[in-house]
Amino acid sequence: MSRWMAALRLVGVGFFIGSSIVLGVAAGLWLDSRLNTGPAIAIVGLFLGIAVAFYGVYRMLIPLMKNKKNGESD
Amino acid sequence: MAKRGALGMSRPLLVGVLSLFVLLFVVGFLVGPLGRSMFGDLGLPAWLSLPQPEFKLPAETAFHLFGFPVANSIIGAWITMAVLICLSYLITRRMKVVPGRLQSAFEALLGWLYDLCRRVAGEENGRRFFPIVTTIFLFVAFNAWLSLIPGFGSIMVTTAEGEHVHLLRGANTDINMPLALALISFVFVEYFGLRSLGLRYVGKFFNVNQFFQSIGHIVRGRLRAGLGGIFTGFIHIFVGLLEALSEMVRIVSFTFRLFGNMTAGEMLLLIAAFLVPWVFALPFYGLELLVGFVQALIFGGLTLVFLTLAVTHHGEESA
């Protein structure tokens, strides 16, 4: 694991969190307005967005955490 | 011979240039809206200040070509492409062992990117990913830098409808171009993932193995192992769904990062030049040069990282 890879992964995290949550809520709101279901789908979308954000960040950062545990920083 | 001071200029010249800068700054400050709101109108001539900038988010149609509307941002993209093609032709036409200035600059840039690819993706994969990453990098960077050239945003044309619009505009300040780049990057990621992992790559998104295995357990009467397995199987399916969704979100986050940074930069320059005309916008120009480079690096580099993620097997990586 090079330093570059670590840096690039960290750079991607911020926008990923933001856009996954916003996208989830936006899709939920759009579906709500289509189906007249009040805020129900928007809330589901919010939680799905948060789940995707967590999962994506976790996947992006696993190798970094693993690296630290082994103590072999490059 | 005169004594050389900073920036390779002789001292009197340096002092002259600096005081000219300060003078321009003070006059610009007094004449701009910022100074006027503080000190009132000092009666300076109106041609010293700029009109209030208008920024339209959707790109405007400059003219029609064979019935297709041609937006000003796509002309910017064409110019970027033309510049890149001309540059590479000029550089590779007469390659020398001892390179000239232009050739060595490009050799250094490409060598650095090649090194980056190999270090991130490994020797063999790095060589495969290098063309994609470099193309994206060069396009984004040159596009950002070209639109900083003075005069790029000043050429106006009159459309068939009689509107005055800019002829040129940085391609990445129109959301369609970053979206296209993000889609290209997405397609390449999926392509390389499928090619190097085959069905296992699809298995990342539809992870139903465990689920069907446990159903098999139940059918064969091993109820306990089966029920526990079904639960894990559901989790695997859900994780696959999250994986697929995060792939979609990646396109959006790629798009908006590039679009947001480029558009904000353009606006920042316009507003800075409007508030305090003339030299005040200069530091922001430097900032935008840096932002163009950094955004290109991020776009190319993240593509590289996700390409690398796609070709490594899930198990290998978390093992």
Please check whether residues B41 and B144 belong to one and the same domain: no
A36 Cα to chain B: minimum distance (Å): 24
Determine contact, residues A56/A16, Cβ cutoff 8 Å: yes
Point out the least confidently predicted range of B147-151, B183-187, B192-196.
B147-151
pLDDT of A68 strictly over 60: no
**Which pLDDT belongs to residue B137?**
92
Does A73 score more than 50 pLDDT?
Answer: no
Would you say residue B105 has pLDDT above 70? yes
**pLDDT above 90 (res B183):** yes
Spell out the residues 6+ positions from residue B284 whose beta carbon is closer than 8 angstroms to its own.
B268, B269, B272
Residues B261 and B299 in one domain: yes
**Domain interval for residue A15:** 3-69
Tell me, yes or no, whether B20 lies in a domain.
Answer: no
Question: Is residue B14 a part of any domain in this protein?
Answer: no
Rounded to whole angstroms, how far apart are CA atoms A43 and B275? Answer: 43
The minimum CA-CA distance between A42 and chain B, rounded to whole Å, is: 16
Contact residues, chain B, for A55 at CB < 8 Å: 239, 242-243, 246
Q: Tell me which residue of B242, B58, B202 sits closest to A54, measured CA to CA.
A: B242
Task: Please tell me the distance from the alpha carbon of residue B185 to that of residue B129, in angstroms, as a whole number.
Answer: 11
Helix (H) or strand (E) holding B151: none
Are residues B50 and B129 both part of a single domain?
Answer: no
The answer to whether residues B94 and B231 belong to one domain is: yes
Q: Do B208 and B105 fall within a single domain?
A: yes
Inter-chain touch A48–B249, beta carbons under 8 Å:
no
Q: With contacts defined as CB-CB under 8 Å, which chain B residues touch A2?
A: 119-120
Number of independent structural domains in chain A: 1
Range of the domain at B80: 55-318
Q: Name the residue in chain B with its Cα closest to that of A65.
A: B318
- pLDDT at residue A72 tops 50: no
pLDDT single digits (tens) B37-89: 777 776 666 666 677 777 777 777 777 777 787 888 888 888 889 999 998 88
Q: Do A55 and B298 touch (CB under 8 A)?
A: no
pLDDT in tens, B236-287: 888 888 888 888 888 988 998 899 898 888 888 888 888 887 788 888 888 9
d(Cα B38, Cα B35) in Å, to the nearest integer? 5
Give yes or no: residues B249 and B149 share one domain: yes
Assign B317 a pLDDT band (cuts: 50, 70, 90): very low
Can you tell me which residue has the tokens 């290109």?
B296
> CB within 8 A of B102, min separation 6: which ones?
B87, B90, B91
A67 vs B: CB within 8 A: no
Count of domains observed in chain B: 2
**Residues near B295 by beta carbon (within 8 Å), at least 6 away in sequence:** B140, B141, B144, B172, B257, B258, B261, B262
Same-domain pairing of B38 and B80? no
Instruction: Say what the pLDDT of residue B1 is.
Output: 47
Residue A39 lies in a domain: yes
Residue B241 lies in a domain: yes
Q: Give A67's contacts in chain B (Cβ within 8 Å).
A: none
Question: For B271, what's the count of Cα atoms within 13 Å in the CB-facing half-sphere?
Answer: 7
B38 and B79 belong to one structural domain = no
Same domain for B120 and B35:
no
- Tell me, yes or no, whether B164 and B265 share the same domain: yes
Q: What is the mean pLDDT of chain B?
A: 81
Distance CA B275, CA B315 (A): 56
Distances (CA, A) of B264 to B55, B60, B173, B279: 11, 18, 9, 20
CA B73 to chain centre: 14
Measured between CA atoms, how close is A27 to chain B, in angstroms?
A: 12
- Domain assignment of residue A35, yes or no: yes
What backbone phi and psi angles, to 5 degrees, belong to B206?
-120, 80
